[in-house]
Structure 1
Amino acid sequence: MSSSPPVRAVVRAIDLLQALNRQAVSTLDVLHAQTGMPKPTLVRLLQTFENRGIVKHAPQHGAYFLTSGVRSLSSGYHSEPMIVEAAAPLMDELTLRVKWPTAVAMLDHSAMVVRYSTIPLSPLSMRHSTINFRLSLVTRALGRAYLAFCPSDQQEALLKDIQTSPHQPEDEAVRDRGALDHVLAKVHDAGYALRDPTVVPATNTLAVPVFDTHGVAATLGMTFFSSTMKPEQAVERYLADLQAVARQVSGRLKELQATA
Structure 2
Amino acid sequence: MVSYKKVEALSRGLSILRYVNEEQEATVGSLHAKSGLDKATIVRMLETLEQEGYVTRCDGAHWRVTGKTILLSGGYSAVREMGRLASPVLSESREILKWPASFGIFDRDAMIIADTTHDWRGMMVTRQPNHRPPMLTTSLGRAYLAYMDDKEREALLDLLRRDPTGWNALANKPAKIRELIADIRKKGYAVADNNYMAHTFGGDIWGMSVPVKGRTRLYGALVIMVLRRVIGEEEGVLDLAPRMQEVAPRIAEALGG
TM-score, normalised via structure 2 length: 0.64
Which of 85-94 and 214-223 deviates more?
85-94
Q: Identify unmatched segments of 5+ residues in structure 2.
A: 1-65
The match for 1:173 is 170
Which of 225-234 and 186-195 deviates more?
225-234
The match for 1:137 is 135
Shift of 1:213: 5.2
Shift of 1:82: 3.5
The match for 1:49 is none
Letter aligned with residue 150 of structure 2: S
Name the CA distance, whole Å, in 1 between partners of 2:211 and 2:121: 22
Q: How many residues end up aligned between the 2 structures?
A: 183
Name the CA distance, whole Å, in 1 between partners of 2:231 and 2:193: 15
The structure that is strand-richer by fraction is 1
Alignment of 1:161-200 (within 5 A): 161-164=159-162, 166-200=163-197
Distance 1:168 1:122, change over 3 A: farther
Name the CA distance, whole Å, in 2 between partners of 1:78 and 1:125: 26
Alignment of 1:117-156 (within 5 A): 117-127=116-126, 129-156=127-154
Name the CA distance, whole Å, in 2 between partners of 1:151 and 1:100: 30
Distance 1:98 1:252, change over 3 A: closer
SS of the equivalent of 1:158 reads helix
The match for 2:213 is 211
Contact 2:191–2:208 (CA under 8 A) maintained in structure 1: yes
Contact 1:210–1:246 (CA under 8 A) maintained in structure 2: yes
Name the CA distance, whole Å, in 2 between partners of 1:162 and 1:209: 21
Name the CA distance, whole Å, in 2 between partners of 1:99 and 1:144: 22
Shift of 1:177: 1.7
The match for 2:52 is none
Name the CA distance, whole Å, in 1 between partners of 2:252 and 2:241: 16
Distance 1:112 1:168, change over 3 A: farther
SS of the equivalent of 1:114 reads strand
Name the CA distance, whole Å, in 2 between partners of 1:35 and 1:153: 33
Distance 1:253 1:106, change over 3 A: same
Letter aligned with residue 184 of structure 2: V
Name the CA distance, whole Å, in 1 between partners of 2:87 and 2:116: 8
Shift of 1:190: 1.2
SS of the equivalent of 2:161 reads helix
Contact 1:99–1:122 (CA under 8 A) maintained in structure 2: no
Letter aligned with residue 253 of structure 2: G
Shift of 1:153: 0.8
C-alpha RMSD of the superposition: 2.5
Distance 1:228 1:175, change over 3 A: farther
Name the CA distance, whole Å, in 1 between partners of 2:121 and 2:142: 24
Contact 2:164–2:172 (CA under 8 A) maintained in structure 1: no
Name the CA distance, whole Å, in 1 between partners of 2:247 and 2:97: 13
The match for 1:115 is 114
Shift of 1:252: 1.6
Name the CA distance, whole Å, in 2 between partners of 1:126 and 1:232: 21
Contact 2:139–2:223 (CA under 8 A) maintained in structure 1: yes
Distance 1:77 1:158, change over 3 A: closer
Contact 1:95–1:122 (CA under 8 A) maintained in structure 2: no
Name the CA distance, whole Å, in 1 between partners of 2:164 and 2:131: 17
Shift of 1:245: 1.1
